[in-house]
Amino acid sequence: MHNSRITSPIPLSPPLRLKPNHPHKNFAVSAQLVRNNLGIQASLRVVSAQLQTTKTDYSISDADLESRGFHLRRTPDGLNLTHLNSVFVSVGFPKRDPDKIRTALDHTDSLVWVEYEKTKRPVAFARATGDGVFNAIIWDVVVDPSFQGIGLGKAVMERVVNELLGKGITNIALYSEPRVLGFYRPLGFVADPDGITGMVYSRERKKKK
């Protein structure tokens, strides 16, 4: 979760399967996986519109976060890109051009980040892009190492997924290193259902041919 970069080849993990968190609700779920030598992309597809996530489903409520000095933000307003870059670097991402980060944010469909009140700096971040109708991919799920282990990563992920579902987007995917797949399982993500495998364009392999 804290480091979902795909900058170098990593070993693949064993298959995971989706188990609905609320089996008593009337909904059907199927899952797809796209995996390659750079990482794992797990996709959750919610078939029924009756599956809804509400504030009471969050592992940490907005009020609880506020009481601990963390403010949820859903727009880029007030987001210091230099500070965000620092968080990226702290978890192993390469330092990014601020102008390119700004462009990426302009093309982001869902954004949730957490600002720590004492420092006014971002300490957790996640965003999603997609076609706005059917598909979305979640990117850049990061938590400042000084604030890991207290539920901030789960908080931003739950809210991004909830927002996407609220827009009617039924195919949600993400990339993850195998060592953090366990973080995504309770959130409904699964790898390798029914042996489905996808492909990602590789410039390195093209050069070798």
Single out the catalytic residue among 58, 116, 175, 184: 184
Find the range with the poorest average confidence among 70-79, 122-131, 196-205. 196-205
Q: What angle do CA 167, 173, 179 make, to 5 degrees?
A: 140
What's the whole-number average pLDDT of the chain?
77
Any domain includes 53: yes
Does residue 9 sit within a domain? no
Query: What pLDDT, in 10s, does the model give residues 129-171?
Result: 999 999 999 999 999 999 999 999 999 999 999 999 999 998 8
Assess whether pLDDT exceeds 50 at residue 46: no
Give the pLDDT confidence score for residue 57 in this predicted structure: 80
Q: Report if residue 185 sits inside a domain.
A: yes
Domain that holds residue 96: 29-208
What pLDDT, on the 0 to 100 scale, is given for residue 200?
A: 78
- pLDDT-based confidence at residue 55 (cuts at 50, 70, 90): very low
Query: pLDDT grade, residue 202 (50/70/90)?
Result: confident
Q: How confident is the model at residue 34 (pLDDT cuts 50, 70, 90)?
A: very low
- Whether residue 10 lies inside any domain: the answer is no
How many Cβ atoms from other residues are within 10 Å of residue 91's Cβ? 18
Residue type, 188: G
Average pLDDT for 43-59:
46
Count of domains for the chain: 1
Q: Which of 47-56, 92-101, 136-145, 156-165 has the lowest mean pLDDT?
A: 47-56
pLDDT category of residue 24 using cuts at 50, 70 and 90: very low
Residue 133 lies in a domain: yes
Q: What sign does the dihedral 182-79-57-51 (CA atoms) show? A: negative
pLDDT of residue 25: 32
pLDDT band at 32 (very low <50, low <70, confident <90, very high): very low
Please, are residues 176 and 4 in contact by the beta-carbon 8 Å criterion? yes
- State the pLDDT confidence band at 209, using cuts at 50, 70 and 90: low
Instruction: Evaluate whether residue 19 is within a structural domain.
Output: no
In a domain, 76, yes or no: yes
CATH of the domain at 54: 3.40.630.30
pLDDT value for 193: 65
Q: Work out the number of other CB atoms within 10 angstroms of the CB of residue 200.
A: 13
Lowest mean pLDDT among 94-103, 111-120, 169-178: 169-178
Q: Is 3 a domain residue?
A: no
Is 184 annotated as catalytic? yes
